[in-house]
Structure 1
């Protein structure tokens, strides 16, 4: 492995102007795994070429690529990736035109070793330190300070993973430098610094530019991500079988995963369609049960009369009133008939409680509505079908209601005598005529009472 060449990195940064620049050519890279070979390939550019590996919160490594790796405008180079798994880093490819002229990769996360190789993953450390304690926000001041141990002037390089890079040149003699962050919010950004002797100050952590209400610093030259950023070719790993034919393991596993996903999707779709079809058949066949039996509902047939119901002639819509059949039916009756109806209602209740069930009563009509099926179910469930007798309250118009006589009032009627004397022969005809012509009315009129008093 080639040793990092920090003075070469410093020379590249001096060639790089202040404003942000995109890449002149681009490269692709392979799988990044711990202590395994890391390969890059590119097209175009001008020798010499340099590959810079920049870890987050670590020390960049600048590796010089031999000219023999570039022929016919095609270049390919590999080196051992001496970083631990889960380490975040970016790779920059540079040529004679300056740093990052071949582009800067997006953030790469180092994976576990596939070969099982061992290597030294210890960071070489920095030669001086600096601090960036302020918040990184759009169009706000971002301060670099505490770099007194560096040999001034220092050079600070900012870069956007998968995008542009730019160089900041703090003035000589000062240990503090303020920079206006002319980068849009949401952009990932990091910095690394070197001094005038090419010594390393290390890389900041990959950070995201924060929001602010100021956009005056942004323009078309503001560093940002680019569309043609370097791309990874680690989507497949190529090997060979016993016959020497190349095989693609990742492609095979990807195809198997795709097939499995398709099968699962088809099974789920069939299950949904089957469920919908089953519910449709169930609805169409009238809510059939799980075993084909139709759910039974208790229905009351108003056309076919149950044999247990009383005949129609026994049903009386007014059980407390007696209907006359001689053509002189009384709708509501007099006070006496109402009183007798109340007595009959009491009699019906008493007879029912005694075990009898008179037909034509409301109780018998209500009990007769219980269907035979309901009674059978009640008997099977051990539930009694007994229902308490109904009680009635009759309301009449006060003008039509004649109150009954008081119980303590006694009306004494005059005595009625029968004449038992033997009529005479001479007056038999006259007495017979008077007897046959005598008539009494009930109740007696005032004239009758007056005549009785005089007699």
Structure 2
């Protein structure tokens, strides 16, 4: 699905959810941005998320700084001046007292150039180049794949913790953990969160995290790749974020999901899916067990063979002591039995042909 990048064409854009909000004026640099809304249940919350990049191929440390603004309102209309420059992409999410994203999510919007006179002296732009999010994200595992397992490890965050999965022009979901706890991970101690990406292939998605101190990061926009469809066939069993410290409380649009434990991979897996990775892990475990049993059987067979060989040699030696000769290192030594005891005779020089004659 090509990225829908909307500039001032979003004017009057309706969002069909349990309640609606409408953009009344196009978003422009340093000018009031107005919207109206109807339905729902007060208080209302509007979350403005400026994306750091529209390039889905960049790594986490190359995301750049996103920006988040939250506007709380009790009655329509509402207005805010966004501190972003012309061309900056952002998404707006509407929420009310019943939950996050209940008013819908806009497509990706773009800031238009200011229409104010050049000599107006207006300058609302803020420096939002903060990149401290890199200090919080210790690891980001898994790619944006339909029904794929994703996880992240965070450090230096405060309770409560939340992660929003945002689909521009579609439903957005936020998962809340009021008491995140540190746990040991392959990357060290941190808060580990995992989730299945229940977003269809071809759609765009990004992520927004907050803690008790405020916004942590806004990720770059990602295009979801092809994967399995298991999370759509059984959404209640695979669509929920989990935390090793306990299941996360969810605020979803539509029917509520049931928390469930999911396995967490230790490495980056951009092409795996939930069901496929579980099958691969089970196969690896079974293969390891069978291999271990075969190794033990092989060692036992070798030990039995060596013991059998040792016992056979001992029997031969006992038989040789009662025979005609027992063999030393260089030449045969005659043996005789005297008084029930085997005695090795001393041998003189080797007989020559002259002595024998």
TM, length-normalised to structure 2: 0.49
Query: Whose relative contact order is higher, 1 or 2, with alpha carbons under 8 Å and at least 6 apart?
Result: 2
TM, length-normalised to structure 1: 0.39
Q: Which protein has the bigger strand share?
A: 2
Of the two, which has the highest radius of gyration? 1
